[in-house]
Amino acid sequence: MKHTIKWVALLLSALLLFSMTGCTLVIEEEVVSTRVIEPSTSSTATTTTTTAATDTDGSTVTSDATGTQTKATTTTRKPAETRTEPKLSGKLELQIFTNESQTADGGWTNVINAFEDATGISVNAQIGSSVNTMMSKRWQKGDPPDMIWLDGSGIPDQQYEKAGSFYDLSKLFNDGYVYGTTDKIKDVVDNNLVQKNGGKIYRLPVLSTAGGMWYDARFMSNNGFSVPQNFDQLMALGAQAKAKGYSTMTYTGIYSSYALSNVIAPAVAAYGQSYFDQFLSGSAAAVKDARFKKVMQKFADFCRTDGYLMEGSTTMDHTSTQQRWINHATLLIANGLWLPDETRKLWSQKSFDMAWAPSPLIDADQKQTVAISGKNVAVATKAKNLDNALAFVRFLYRDEAQNWLMYSYGYMGVRTDMKFDTDAFVKAAGGTDAAKATATALDYINGNKVNRVYWNESWGTLGDEIALEINELAMKGGKSVDEAIDRLASVAPKK
């Protein structure tokens, strides 16, 4: 009896200690902090003379052009003509979520410093990964910051918009000018990315992004694997990889919207903008449509074939899936464009050649498709410094602001007149491996190999419902596709 108890106790203790030791190998601490960027006096990018009196949305053009200096741009067009801006002063408060494993802070800092130098406005930027949670009380109390970057979790942006807390930016978009230039915002920003609500614009895109899959090109090549471009090739790769002891794909099951955004939605978008719009509108008919069913069936067929989906994916978080993928437990990972930067510490020491491909959940006769979505800003209706906020939004469309933010986020800009230049991007982003990987993805997305379909509408809670069903479909013994779609169709109208 005594010995048995001792052995049980020792076994439990050893298990605890052993697993804790292992845990330290996998936990990468998430940094959570909020910093305030103090007003800077440094001059980094632009100087704009601010003498003439014009409307604050920049809708009145003055004839005097002042010398505007720009820096590090990927654009190949000639520089925009300059225009004089009205004199502004005072303060501006910003709410900017950044995942601090990215280098986004640096991009925003450059933009803010340049804006301060150009306008004399003192910017108080609440930046960090917990800023959305911290600022939510202020939104509820009617004391919001002047401008908000709609990124990260914890922003009930649909609720804010519905409650009238976002300022109507329609006039700014339709008549306003890019700060300090004669470029009209409406003429240079990709209009397809602009979300409208009842004909009005409450949020404006500053960057754009698209989802897909990442892989290690060197590893794939060394093993004789080809990157799948359609579902048949994906299944063929599954068999080939399984024979060599690898699974083919993983996604972050605990946040299954990763699979939804990166492989399922683009495959739905491959049926064209019109159907994709219907689908996003949450219509039950679009959900029950044979095209959506076909995509979901492909996903289920792939995941339920033994050994194709990485084991345990459905309950893993992003850290676990990414780490296992980097260790080559699986070939492909469904993830957004931020992956190279987010995981740079994990793969920088490895012989890893990170590359990107669009969703393979399409038929062989369909063209590869990306669903492009905007990353938006909104201005608070109760902004204490409304004019300054509007000026800042216009400033975000300047060449250098677009470039700084593109480099730092690894996303695309939104100006149609700026041609993407891979070399310039890599150089400006510091020439890192992460920058090279991101640039390759952006090059692919901007190239002719893919259809570009726009994802310019939120699908509300329907997205969460689909995310739930994704895991069901990925499980062997889970729901049938028909069962999942029936349930989705029943909740779709509630969107």
Partner 1 sequence: MSTLKKRKKGLTRSQKGFLWALGVPTFLLYIYICIVPMLSSVMDSLYQWDGYGDKTWVGLQNYAEIFVDPVFHTSIINDILIVLFKELIIVFLATAFAVSLTRVKFAKAESGIYRFLFYLPNILSVIVITRVWKFVFELGLFDSILQIFGINWASPNGWLADYPLPIIIFVASWCGIGSYMIIMISAINNISKEIYEAADIDGAGQFRQLFSITLPTILPQVRYMIVSILTSSLAANLNLVLPFTGGGPGTRSYVMGYYVYNAAYTDFEVGYANAAALLLMLISVVLAGTVNTLVARGEEK
Decide: is 9 part of the binding site for partner 1 (CB under 8 A): yes
Chain length of the chain: 495
Residue 47: phi and psi, rounded to 5, are -135, 125
Residue holding tokens 């090059």?
443
Q: Whole-number minimum distance, CB 151 to partner 1, in Å?
A: 17
Smaller CB distance to partner 1: residue 27 or 243? 27
Nearest C-alpha neighbor of 82 from the set 66, 102, 98? 66
Taking CB under 8 A as the rule, does residue 137 contact partner 1?
A: no
Residue 438 DSSP symbol: H
Residue whose C-alpha is closest to residue 300's, from 151, 494, 469: 469
Q: What is the DSSP-derived secondary structure letter of residue 216?
A: E
- 7 is a site residue for partner 1 (CB under 8 A): no
Query: Judged by CB under 8 A, does residue 31 bind partner 1?
Result: no
Using CB under 8 A as the binding rule, whether residue 209 contacts partner 1 is answered as no
Q: What are phi and psi of 61, to 5 degrees?
A: -95, 130
Residue 81 vs 464, nearer CB to partner 1 = 464
In this chain, which of 210, 390, 474, 488 binds partner 1, going by CB under 8 A? 474
For residue 128, which of 146, 145, 156, 151 has the smallest C-alpha distance?
Answer: 151
Q: Classify strands 369-379 and 147-149 as parallel, antiparallel or unpaired.
A: antiparallel
Q: Write each residue from 81 to 120 as x if it is in contact with partner 1 (CB under 8 A), else as -, in one continuous string.
A: ----------------------------------------
Residue 205: its H or E element: strand 204-209
Q: Give the footprint of partner 1 on residues 398-417 (CB under 8 A).
A: none
Query: Looking at 43, 51, 89, 140, which residue binds partner 1 (CB under 8 A)?
Result: 140
- Segment 225-284, which members bind partner 1 (CB under 8 A)? 253-256
The reply on whether position 26 binds partner 1 by CB under 8 A is yes
Q: Is 200 in the site for partner 1 (CB under 8 A)?
A: no
Q: Using alpha carbons only, what angle is made at residue 104 by residues 98 and 109, rounded to the nearest 5 degrees?
A: 105
Q: Stretches 5-13, 102-110, 292-300, 380-388: which one binds partner 1 (CB under 8 A)?
A: 5-13
Nearer to partner 1 by Cβ, of 383 and 445: the residue is 383
Least distance in angstroms from the C-beta of 315 to partner 1: 4
Positions in 156-185 near partner 1 (CB under 8 A) = 156, 158-160, 162-163, 165
SS3 content of the chain, % helix, strand, coil (to 5): 45, 15, 40
Contact range with partner 1 by CB under 8 A, out of 151-159, 206-214, 241-249, 351-359: 151-159
Shortest reach from residue 50's CB to partner 1, in Å: 37
Output 7 or 36, the one with its CB closest to partner 1: 7
Closer to partner 1 by CB, 110 or 471: give it.
471
Tokens representing 483 are 């069962």
Give the three-state DSSP class for 58: coil
- Separation between Cα atoms, residue 233 and residue 213, nearest integer Å: 14
Interface with partner 1 includes 378 (CB under 8 A)? no
**349-380: b (≥16 Cβ within 10 Å) or e:** eeebbbbbbbbbbbeeeeebbbbbbbbbbbbb
User: Which residue type sits at 44?
Assistant: T
| Total of residues contacting partner 1 (CB under 8 A) | 50
- Identify the DSSP state of 348: T
Contact residue for partner 1 among 411, 469, 481, 485 (CB under 8 A): 469
Binding flag, residue 478, partner 1 (CB under 8 A): yes
Of residues 299 through 358, those in contact with partner 1 by CB under 8 A are 306, 311-317, 320, 324
Phi and psi at residue 372, to the nearest 5°: -90, 130
Residue 32, number of CB atoms within 10 A of its CB: 11
Residues that bind partner 1 (CB under 8 A): 1-2, 5, 9, 12-13, 15-16, 18-20, 22-23, 26-27, 139-140, 156, 158-160, 162-163, 165, 253-256, 306, 311-317, 320, 324, 461, 464, 468-469, 471-472, 474-479
